[in-house]
Structure 1
Amino acid sequence: MMQQFYPQVQHSYRFELNKDMHFSAAHFIPSEDAGKCQVMHGHTYYLNITIGGNELDSIGFLIDFKELKNLIHDKYDHSVLNDHPEFKNNFPTTEKLAEQVCKSIQEVLLTRNNKPVCLQVIVRETPTSYVIYRPEQEVVL
């Protein structure tokens, strides 16, 4: 795989983890405004996930890379995105996919004692097109 450099998210965490992965899935956007994307078609999606945190777990991880891969790859690989419940009321656009990946990861991170945070998810749909999703950060006063 060719090394890819992605836009960085600004943060003040001591640790930053980045995980690249890919999966293959089909989707369609059921709207006349979507043009050719109205018809089911597939992509090999390439993702980069950025997680930050100040504390490591008992074995020295923010989270195990394998756990991140299994969470996303097992869920979406070789599936039709439209069939997933999180896209029941949302078209499975690349933007919505990036948002849902972030939400799925953050749900798992919230269960961890060291409380890492998903800072950014980048989803590349084609070699020339990608989306960056960054959840709103809470402001602590």
Structure 2
Amino acid sequence: MIQQIYPSPAHNYSYELNKDFQFASAHYVPDERAGKCMNVHGHTYFANVTIAGDLLDETGFLINFQKIKQLIHDRFDHSLLNEDGLFSDENAEDYPTTEVVARKVAEIIQEHLDTLSNKPVCLQVFLRETPTSYVIYRPKRGNS
């Protein structure tokens, strides 16, 4: 993993967990305005997920680090993202751009977190597509 200092989202939770991992995936952006990105190509994505909460579970975890990697790495590593049901060639909000992939990662993780009794939240997904390009996605939480 490359050394990286990630921007930290502001919050008032007692615990903040960060998990780094990587996955290698191919994709294409199905729009002629995407230029060369219309062609199938691949990246080794470097991800950092920030999860926070006030309560630990019965094992003393906010969430087990292994579960985060399992939810994302095991799903996306060595895949063509466009073939995953989360993405669509019909709607730009669902094209597998780095922005959308970061949002989908947050949604996958939050869906799992919502099943946990201690109710942690995914605050941020940092997704690096290349050594010089990355996206940060921070889900909006309303006034809570």
Shorter-chain TM-score above 0.5: yes
- Distance, in Å, in 1 between the alignment partners of 2:73 and 2:63 is 16
- The percentage of counterpart residues that share the same residue type is 57
- Distance, in Å, in 1 between the alignment partners of 2:142 and 2:23 is 31
- Distance, in Å, in 1 between the alignment partners of 2:11 and 2:3 is 23
Q: Is 1:96 matched up with 2:79?
A: no
3-state SS of 1:55 partner: coil
- Distance, in Å, in 1 between the alignment partners of 2:70 and 2:143 is 31
Name the amino acid aligned to 1:25.
S
In structure 1, the gaps of 5 or more residues are: none
Name the amino acid aligned to 1:106.
Q
3-state SS of 2:66 partner: helix
Q: Is 1:39 matched up with 2:43?
A: no
1:18-62 alpha-carbon deviations (Å, 9 max, x no partner):
000000000001111101100000000000000000000011100
3-state SS of 1:102 partner: helix
- Distance, in Å, in 1 between the alignment partners of 2:141 and 2:5 is 23
What corresponds to 2:60 in structure 1?
Answer: 60
Q: Is 1:122 matched up with 2:126?
A: yes
- Distance, in Å, in 2 between the alignment partners of 1:38 and 1:6 is 29
Q: Is 1:138 matched up with 2:137?
A: no
- Deviation of 1:91 after TM superposition, in Å, equals 1.0
- Distance, in Å, in 1 between the alignment partners of 2:135 and 2:118 is 28
In structure 2, the gaps of 5 or more residues are: none
1:103-139 alpha-carbon deviations (Å, 9 max, x no partner):
0000000000000000000110000000000000131
What corresponds to 1:107 in structure 2?
Answer: 111
- Deviation of 1:3 after TM superposition, in Å, equals 2.0
TM-score by length of 1: 0.97
How large is the Cα RMSD of the aligned pairs?
Answer: 0.8
What corresponds to 1:24 in structure 2?
Answer: 24
Pairs aligned (count): 140
3-state SS of 2:86 partner: helix
